[in-house]
Amino acid sequence: MQSCAVQRIDHTPYAQTDYYRHTLQALEAQPPVTSKADSLQVGWAKVNITPPIGSPLAGYGKRRGLRYSTVHDSVWVRTFAFDNGQTEVIFVALDMLITPMTVAAALEKEYAAMGLRPAQVYLSATHTHSSFGGWGQKLVGRLMAGRYSKQLVQQTTAQIEHSIQLARQNKQVSRIGYGTAYVPQLVRNRLTGSLSGRDTTVRFFKIEQASGKTAVLATFAAHPTILPSMDPVLSRDYPGELVDQLEKSLDFAAFAAGAVGSQAVVAPHGDTFESTAAVGQALAAAILEKLPTVELQHTAQLGYAKHSLQLPEPQWRLNTNHRFAPFLFNRLFGKYPTYINSMQLGEAVLLGVPADYSGELLPLLEQQGQPVVMTGFNGGYIGYITPDRHYALKKYETRSMNFYGPQSGSYLTDILRKIMHSYRLKDRRNN
């Protein structure tokens, strides 16, 4: 039984594997859909998705299904619809730990009725660790998110559908631009402590409708884990304060977690709501300061794709050299389809992954010479993706939460670079 349940770690170079070859074949078979037209329409909407008090929280295994007794601030789905007359793309941001696999699967069944392909809908989450659970079916999912509720999954799915419908109905002729701000004081590398291994950039899109209404879609790479893990309180953590602050000056704002792997937020007042307010306000101030400098365009290249990501067998580690057998991992975690979503808004390419992707890896993507916006938690989950050089570290991110072996970082980053290259090729052909 020992020889069956425990196996040696596989160090085969990923470029020599079948899963790599199959993923490349899938990329070649399904290039991005892109277009550029003379005008752009954008709409947005938000829908409250707060379940009743007594629903379970999601985010920490030690909660063991802890149910919240207080709602500090409601949770929402915030949606953008972008349309240039030839291509339409939808961006969805959930105030949740992740986009649950159960919700993503339920949505897949509804897109056709809305006249959409699954690839046109880009799912993301704020990654707050104080939002609701009830969506995990396997044992680990129940530990992280409490007892499964089919009703809660159906309700959340319907609310996301509604937000998409409202955003599409609210489309107006618009202009769009991309900007960045820097907040090094708000992020630290919790894996290595390295100052250079941090993603300190706030990336954001500014959208202005012909009516004069203005919106922002922002990302930032620091874990929303400020609030105490055992407090029975529902909250959006600092992303909630960020969008609330922005909406004091703008008409609409949405937030998606960036490359949060290894990246911890610096909470100036400890694990308190004073800290969530301070961080959210600082991020909003940084964006608002840069907003007037963002150049807006009436036309924008729009694109989308959904790329199948083949994976090696799970390599959930027992110790330095051994892993649990894949069947044990699948029994505990479940086995789900995994994808990379991508979306083009103007010159920037958004990449949505089913993981906590490390901010330390972003420079390898930015070398491509094209603005890149990374988001996680797109409807699947494959654990933490960190640089290969950290694999030997006996840390939570590299030991407990590395599910797919010593080359996860280089493999996924290689695929992401190839996706970005496919958009550049499309741009050259369209222009």
User: What is the domain extent for residue 50?
Assistant: 1-431
Residue 1 predicted with pLDDT over 70: no
Model pLDDT, residue 395: 94
DSSP 65: S
CA distances from 219 to 38, 124, 344, 360 (A): 28, 10, 15, 16
* pLDDT tens-digit series, residues 155-203: 999 999 999 999 999 999 999 999 999 999 999 999 999 999 999 999 9
Degrees to nearest 5, angle at CA 398 with 392 and 399: 85
Condensed to tens digits (0 to 9), the pLDDT of residues 287-341 reads 999 999 999 999 889 999 999 999 999 999 989 899 999 999 999 998 888 999 9
Q: How far apart are CA 234 and CA 239, in angstroms?
A: 13
Over 50: is that where the pLDDT of 271 sits? yes
Angle of helix 238-246 versus helix 273-290 axis, rounded to 10: 40
Q: Which secondary structure element, helix H or strand E, spans residue 375, and what is its range?
A: strand 372-376
Non-local CB neighbours of 256 within 8 Å, separated by 6+ positions: 91, 93, 124, 125, 126, 217, 218, 219, 375
Q: pLDDT tens-digit profile of 351-395? A: 999 999 999 999 999 987 889 999 999 999 999 999 999 999 999
Residue identified by tokens 């660790």 is 129
Check: CB of residue 184 under 8 Å from CB of residue 60: no
3-state secondary structure of 124: strand
pLDDT at 430: 66
pLDDT at position 345 is 97
Side chain identity, residue 270 = G
By the 10 Å C-beta count (0-12 exposed, 13-18 middle, 19+ buried), 271 is classed as middle
How big is the chain by its Cα radius of gyration, in Å?
20
Cα–Cα distance between 151 and 63 in angstroms, integer?
22
Q: To which H or E segment does residue 46 belong?
A: strand 41-48
Closest CA to 72 of 215, 241, 294: 241
Q: What share of the chain is helix, strand, coil (3-state, %, to 5)?
A: 35, 30, 40
* Structural domain total, the chain: 1
One-letter amino acid of 3: S
What is the spatial distance between Cα 340 and Cα 382, in angstroms, rounded to a whole number? 11
pLDDT of residue 3: 52
Cα four-point dihedral sign 100, 106, 111, 114: negative
Q: Is the pLDDT of residue 4 over 90?
A: no
- Assign 138 a pLDDT band (cuts: 50, 70, 90): confident
Is 347:371 a contact under the CB 8 Å cutoff? yes
Share of the chain above pLDDT 70, in %: 98
Which residue do the tokens 């070859």 mark? 21
Mean pLDDT of the chain: 95
Pairing of strands 356-357, 384-385: parallel
Closest to 412 (Cα-Cα) out of 350, 340, 333, 320: 340
Taking residues 215-238, what's their average pLDDT? 97
Residues in CB range of 158: below 8 A, 6 or more apart: none
Strand ranges inside 166-267, DSSP E: 172-182, 187-189, 201-209, 214-220, 233-234, 252-257, 263-265
pLDDT of 75 higher than 50: yes
The answer, yes or no, to whether residue 2 has pLDDT greater than 50, is no
Task: Quote the CA–CA distance of 99 and 160 in Å, as a whole number.
Answer: 11
- Of 218, 45, 69, nearest to 132 by C-alpha is 69
Question: Do 302 and 207 meet the contact criterion of CB atoms below 8 Å apart?
Answer: no
386-423: b or e for each residue (b if 16 or more CB lie within 10 Å)? bbbebbeeebebbbebbbbbbbbbbbbbbbbbebbebb
The string of DSSP codes covering 106-122 is: HHHTTTGGGT--GGGEE
Q: What share of the chain has pLDDT > 90, as a percent?
A: 89
d(CA 79, CA 172): 15
Q: Which helix (H) or strand (E) segment is 332 a member of?
A: helix 326-333
Q: Say whether 377 sits in a helix, a strand or coil.
A: coil
Q: Regarding predicted confidence, which is higher, 266 or 64?
A: 266
